[in-house]
Amino acid sequence: MNALDCEDWEIFLRKIISLNLSMFEIQDDETVDSPEERSLRSWNSAQSGLSNMIKFAGNMKQKEETEHGQMMFEEEMLALGEENVIEEFESYFSGLVLDVEKNITSYSTALQQVEELLQLERDTERIKRKVADYTLDYDDDLASEEVSLDTLFSVNPTNLVEELNKNKTQKDNAMRRFRNLLGSRLKDSEPIREEELRALIENKRIK
């Protein structure tokens, strides 16, 4: 990718991470000064929150399926003497389960999008390291008195170029797809800081 494309991609990546993590309404920890640690805590909190929501939804779904028509009510409600009161409550409970499941789908999609894009950036850096290692090995071999062709060409440079081009295409496609999907919400999103992005890419552990 050329310099302009790299800058465009990075801004896009910082914006979509900010937008998607904002869905979880994570409270700032005033004791944390480092932007990198704040970013990691937000990411971990989002994943933990989603996991808890999935467990909660599972319990609600189980209760709905196993106790339908058998839910216990206070005497005051039963005293109303209307069977449709109980039916209405159970209908409300079922609607609540559906709402929770719908929200979980939205939250899961948001995190999956972030992870997909972070992985593309990690792949870019992995390939670039392979290119750098190949270049270094190539120079060292040429400077050596004994040059082994097997060692010199153990890594096919053509394959590295193909990997980079494939990765670039995947990034271009992802950027267009999410920009079309998220529209003005993504455009108006305030990007996270560069150091926050770096922490997520490197997947550092919180101390």
pLDDT at 1 over 50: no
Give the pLDDT score at 79: 55
Q: How many residues does the chain have?
A: 207
Give how far Cα 112 sits from Cα of 20, 46, 77, 93, 103, Å.
10, 11, 43, 29, 14
pLDDT at 27 over 70: no
Residue given tokens 């990411």 in the structure block? 43
Tell me, rounded to whole angstroms, the distance of Cα 54 from its chain centroid.
16
Structure pTM?
A: 0.67
Mean pLDDT of all residues belonging to the chain: 76
Half-sphere exposure of 58 (CA within 13 A, CB side): 6
Q: Convert the pLDDT of each residue in 173-203 to its tens digit.
A: 999 999 999 999 999 999 999 998 998 998 7
Higher pLDDT, 31 or 113: 113
Give the pLDDT score at 203: 76
Per-residue confidence band for 95, with pLDDT thresholds at 50, 70 and 90: confident
d(CA 124, CA 167): 7
Of 97-101, 119-123, 143-147, where does mean pLDDT reach its minimum?
143-147
Of 18-22, 24-28, 149-153, 203-207, where does mean pLDDT reach its minimum?
149-153
Give the pLDDT score at 136: 56
Q: Convert the pLDDT of each residue in 42-87 to its tens digit.
A: 777 788 778 888 887 777 777 766 766 555 554 555 555 555 666 6
Higher pLDDT, 38 or 193: 193
Q: Which of 25, 11, 6, 19 is nearest to 181 (CA)?
A: 19
Per-residue confidence band for 103, with pLDDT thresholds at 50, 70 and 90: confident
What does the chain look like in DSSP terms, one character per residue?
Answer: --HHHHHHHHHHHHHHHHHHHHTT-PPP-TT---HHHHHHHHHHHHHHHHHHHHHHHHHHHHHHHHSTTT----HHHHTT--HHHHHHHHHHHHHHHHHHHHHHHHHHHHHHHHHHHHHHHHHHHHHHHHHHHHHHHHHHHHHSSS--HHHHTSS-HHHHHHHHHHHHHHHHHHHHHHHHHHHHHHHTPPPPPHHHHHHHHHTPPP-
pLDDT at 155 over 60: no
